[in-house]
Amino acid sequence: MEEKFGVDADQFAALVLHQLTASGEHDAEYHPDDFKIVVGSLDLYLSNIFRETAELPEAERDGRIANFVASIKDDDQPDTWPAVRAMLRPILRPNTFGISTPTDGMQPITRPAFPFIDELVAVDRPHSRSIVSTATLQGWGVSADEVFAAARENLTALVGSTGYQGSGLIRFADNGDGYCTSWPLVPGWLAASGDGTHRPIAFIPDVDTLIIVPDLDDLAPLFDHVEQQYRDAVRPISPQAYTVDDHGTVIPLDQSPDHRHRAQALRARCGLAVTEYSAQATALEEAVDLHLAYPDHDDLAPAFAGSVMYVSDETGPYTATIWGKDVEYLLPEADRIIFCTEENGQMTTLFEAPFAAVAEIAGLTPIPNMTPRRYEIRHWPTPETLARLEAAAISR
């Protein structure tokens, strides 16, 4: 593992062990192969905090380690519905967050927030936060809807719905307690933010950063900056820009068809789609390799998890995926589908059609409970269907 701020992984673990000992935890053991410290029945994985503190000064790094160590004490707090209800907060995460988590009740509860972005719920304890899972709901004896509603209610009580007023670029950097990237989930909050004259545009590249700018200047450099921050983030959320519609509802900027930054907005949307489908494909392939089955889809026969490609032409950026003859697919949802055949090792493109048209003509339906969406493809279209698909193709 690469060296950070003058210490390598083992030295960093030693710093954590030192603070654990100082706090009274004398039975902690370091497991270098997994880069974790075991304290009793608790596993403390170090990869994220190791990366997150990479560029911090020594004093700030040690403070973050102290908070990390203090989180152990949070496990001793009550975990009943009445005790935790006021601690709930909504958080945003990409679709594939926790995708490799075992499915024995430990998967987070989620609901769609934006394309490729889900809303989850965290329990905000003094030194740590935990994600509410399906197993947690069973222990509390409440529904997911009750949990989401309580989390939104708590956040609204904390930040209000009158937004944050200011001119120019406004950047919020979270220390882990403010939940600033969740503020746009409060109805009316983003619409009321900014300079009061121009429509606000928001970016949430990672879990600790919210950026708001008025929709009036050249934002291309900011799109580039956000994309790089998203790529570099230990815990990324989205490279996309978000704004509000005429009713104050938060929407991705690419859904404003005549916006002057539509090309940058589409690029960000495509980048998020490519990233999320790539992570999903890797998880699906690893699951089949290890367990000969897909998580939560034991009856789904293995097939090739198709990839999403970033493409750009005179119409702007878009996503595409391939439907090839004689291949079984878990087909991702892209803007366009490229139909191909292969003969003697030579790939031939037949035509390219909009996904919506293909779905309607071929009768595609998404695989239940798979996010991002994929479609089970077991056969090449019949000649009649293929002719209809070609008639709907995009002309070149």
The whole-number pLDDT of residue 89 equals 97
Q: Please indicate, yes or no, if residue 4 is contained in any of the structural domains.
A: no
56 token code pair = 């911090």
Q: Please indicate, yes or no, if residue 97 is contained in any of the structural domains.
A: yes
Q: How far is CA 310 from CA 58, 253, 267, 277, 354, in A?
A: 41, 18, 8, 12, 15
Mean pLDDT to the nearest integer, 96-111? 79
| 224 and 183 inside one domain | yes
Condensed to tens digits (0 to 9), the pLDDT of residues 186-219 reads 999 999 999 999 999 999 999 999 999 999 879 9
| 253 and 185 inside one domain | yes
- Give the end of a domain, one of 74, 93, 115: 74
| 181 and 127 inside one domain | no
166 token code pair = 């200011």
- Local confidence band at 63 (pLDDT 50, 70, 90 cut-offs): confident
Q: Enumerate residues 6+ apart whose C-beta is below 8 A from 27.
A: 39, 40
Domains identified in the chain, total number: 4
Short-list 231, 237, 246, 240, CA closest to 266 = 240
Q: Which residue has the higher pLDDT, 130 or 319?
A: 319
Q: Tally Cβ neighbours within 10 Å of residue 384.
A: 8
Cα 378 to chain centroid distance, Å, stands at: 29
39 token code pair = 């304290």
| 291 and 372 inside one domain | yes
Q: Please indicate, yes or no, if residue 284 is contained in any of the structural domains.
A: yes
Q: Please indicate, yes or no, if residue 3 is contained in any of the structural domains.
A: no
Asked if 329 contacts 348 with a C-beta cutoff of 8 angstroms, the reply is no
Short-list 54, 23, 63, 50, CA closest to 39 = 23
Q: Is the confidence at residue 362, as pLDDT, over 80?
A: yes
| 286 and 376 inside one domain | yes
- Give the end of a domain, one of 218, 235, 260: 260
> 50 lies in which domain range?
9-74
